[in-house]
Every structure is written in C-alpha cells, then in structure tokens.
Chain A
Amino acid sequence: MSTVVSLEKYIHNDLVRRVEELSGQDLLACYQCGECSAGCPAAFAMDLLPSQVIRLLQLGQVEEVLNSATIWFCAACQTCYARCPKGVDLSRIMEALRELAMERDGDTLKHTEIPKEELEAFPQQAIIAGFRKYTL
C-alpha cells in the first residue's frame, strides 16, 4: 500500500478551484518570474506582492491570501497582465479573491464611511467603480 499525499485534496483544494473558476486563470501557468510585482504601482502598500499571491495559491494557501490586505489595494490597472510573459491575468485573480473574501466577511465599503465632503467631491465613476469592487 502506498502513502501518496493527495495534491488534489490538500493543494488543489476546493477554494483554489473556485479561484480558478471565477478568474478563468490557470494558476500553475505562473513560473514566478516576478515581473508582475516589479511593475505593480500599488506594491508599496501591499503585504503580499502579486507574485506571492499566486505562489500561495499554487500551494493551496487561499485563506492566507484572503486575509491579506493586498487584494483590496489592487487597482485593476492591468500592468501585471500586460507584462506577464505567461499571459496570467492577475487582475482577474484579484477580483476572484475579493469576491471570495466578501462572500466570507461581507462588503468592505459603506457609503456612510466615506466623509460627506469627499462623497460630494468624487467624480461619479469613482463611486460606481468603488462600490462595484468593494461590495457584492
């Protein structure tokens, strides 16, 4: 009898599969070159770099990624996707992770939390896009 560790169960677990389904991305396509992290304009604010997010997902560590601040700092600028030599669309992976985090913890933006003077100053698109990204 062999004692094979089931990659399917521990590493390619249900949550990882959901990230793949929601984002439409093949997580194993990433070969960790770091191009995405090097060019990410929001990396200075992130606790996990974009390439580290993918690495953790490859290892099945979805919870750790969902608990990181990184997913809320991704501005969907698409720089990572534009430059990834493997064609990985990280902005879609970030969106999938926001979705899963909000399914677990609820919305992360309330209009009552935005100061009134800012709400009045914001261009309409900031409010619409903000609520699209930070609420379910």
Chain B
Amino acid sequence: MKISYFPGCTLNTKGKGFDRSVREAMAALGVELVELPDWNCCGASFPLLVDNVLDLVGPARVLINTAARDNKLTTACTTCYNVLKRTNRVLREDENIRERLNYFVEADYQGQVEVSDILQLIRDEVGFEKVKEAVKKPLNGLRVASYYGCMVLRPPREVAYDDPENPHALDDLMAALGAEPVRWGAKAECCGNYLVARKPEVAMEMSYRVLSSASRAGAEVIVANCPLCQFNLDRWQRDLTLTHGGFEPIPVLYFTQLLAIALGLDPGGYELEKHYVDPRPLLESKGLI
C-alpha cells in the first residue's frame, strides 16, 4: 500500500527520530509513505474563532496539495492530524467557508481527502494481527503506559477513531508487540500543550499529573504520539524530582520507536540519545537495543 504522508514542521526538525521510526516501521509493515511535495505548516493549532478563516488557509493548502495526487493523507504528528482533520470537516460541511477559501487560494476543493493518523492507519489498514506476525523482537515484559493526549480524541465527533474516554488502540498495538500495557487514569489527560511557551510551570504541573499516574500504575516507560506531548512529559522531569518528593523519572518514547525496535529495525537513527530522560538503559536491560 502507498499513501501520501505529511511530516509537519516538528517531525522535519526537532522530531526527526520520530519521523524516521515512522517511515522505517511503516515500510517494514508494507506501507510506503510518499512525502507530500512542497508541504507547508498546518498552523499547529486549530483556530477556534468562528470567523478565523485565514488560519484555515495553511491546513487547507495541505489538503488541496494532497488532492492533486491522492485521496488519502496520513500524518504521525497527532497535532497535525487534529488540525487537518478538523479543517477538512469545515471544508466539507460549511459551504460558505469552503467557497471563500477556494476563492482565496484559487482552488476547487470539496473536502474529498481522507485524513488519518498513523496509529489509525496501522490498526485499520495493516491490522494488529499482521503487526504481531511481523514482530522480530517482542517487547516481553515491558510495562508500557500508552498516552493518547488530546489530539486524537477531542472533539470526539470530529477526530476520534477510538473510545474518547477510554481509548485502547495504542494499548492494543503495544500488546501486539509483546509489551504489557498498564491500566492507568491519565492516558487521555492534557500535557499542557502550548502553555509551555508562556506558563511553563503550569504545563509542568499538568505533565507531572500524567507522569505520576503512569508511575503509580507501575509503568516503566510512557509512549506518546505527539512531539509536544513527548517534550512536555520528558523535558521537566529533573526539575520535578526537586519539586515533587518521591518522583522518579520515567522515559518517554514515541510509540513508533518501540514499534520499529520490535520489528527488528536498527534504532540508530531514532535519536534516543536526545531524549531528556535517557531511555537506553531501560531498553538495554530488556535486551531490546
């Protein structure tokens, strides 16, 4: 299978390790990701004012660009997924905005592209059974907290492909890889999102609540699906050991890094060394790297 792929700004820069693990894991699963040519930034947040049509231009261009060559688009950054999916819905359902936007960017787009998140693609197009058969290095015994964050769940009617209050697609994938998904309460809580740019101490506390929930459930590692979630959860752990008594750092990986490792791929290009809490000692102790 072949599908158009939108990396987005962060996977093209700070999130290169995520990007590489996505591309290699998908290739190993028989899915060829074709990078969209000349793509632009999606805007990194869906505009919430009803008349803010201008901020829809970026994501609309990505969709129009896709429509010229494909009717399907996938992305691994769940923030990009959220923005593209919601924008596409507006273009499908709101005739007035659709006309204004098409007029402005000189296009004739009707919302025909199907936008999917990479986890959704793995579940629906590859299938977890097939993933299980492709595993070369099972994650035996690794206790994983699957973190969904906001972007693939909310608003449920617009973006969710899973149970928005108790999602399980990522847990199911981790189980297929031979890991032990832990049951925990904060899998769908917010990490603090863009608050980090203005009020880092609030984002830090929000992340702490997620991290401590995972630790209490006995997780050895958290897997994330968004570069900003990964950053917020990973970045402040050293500070948290000073401010929150008893806090023990816990590595935060992208789920595709574990997927690729389980598929027997070489994690050399996945930038594991760039994570703030070094995940390598844990992976080494499990014989995974």
Contacts and interface: CB of A to CB of B under 8 A. Distances in A.
Interface string B180-196: 00000000011011111
A132 B205 contact: no
A41 B190 contact: yes
A72 B199 contact: yes
B49 A78 contact: no
Interface in B162-207: 164, 189-190, 192-200, 202-203, 205-206
B100 interface: no
A42 B210 CA distance: 12
Interface in A13-67: 21-24, 41-42, 44-45
Contacts of A108: 198
Given A78-B154, A95-B49, A122 B196 contact: yes
Interface in B7-55: 8-10, 13-15, 41, 43-45, 47-51, 55
A71 B200 CA distance: 15
Contact of B150 (A24, A77, A99, A114): A77
B10 A130 contact: no
Interface stretch (B227-235, B250-258, B277-285): B227-235
Contact of B13 (A95, A114, A124, A131): A124
B77 interface: yes
Given A79-B154, A125-B79, A130 B49 contact: no
Contacts of B79: 125, 129
Contact of A126 (B41, B190, B197): B197
B77 A125 contact: yes
Contacts of B189: 41, 79
Contact of B199 (A73, A94, A129): A73
A134 to B, nearest CB: 5
Nearest to B231: A123
Q: What range describes how many residues of B lie at the interface?
A: 35 or more
Interface residues of A, number: 42
Contacts of A21: 50
Given A41-B209, A124-B10, A129 B193 contact: yes
B127 interface: no
B9 to A, nearest CB: 4
A76 B43 CA distance: 14
B194 A130 contact: yes
A82 B188 CA distance: 12
A113 B10 CA distance: 22
A121 interface: yes
B10 A125 contact: yes
Interface string B135-175: 00000000000000010011110000000100000000000
A15 to B, nearest CB: 15
A109 B47 CA distance: 18
Contacts of B156: 82
Given A41-B190, A75-B192, A82-B155, 13 more contacts: A75-B190, A75-B195, A77-B150, A95-B47, A99-B49, A122-B14, A124-B9, A124-B10, A126-B197, A130-B196, A130-B197, A132-B55, A134-B194
Interface of B: 8-10, 13-15, 41, 43-45, 47-51, 55, 77, 79, 150, 153-156, 164, 189-190, 192-200, 202-203, 205-206, 209, 227-228, 230-231, 235
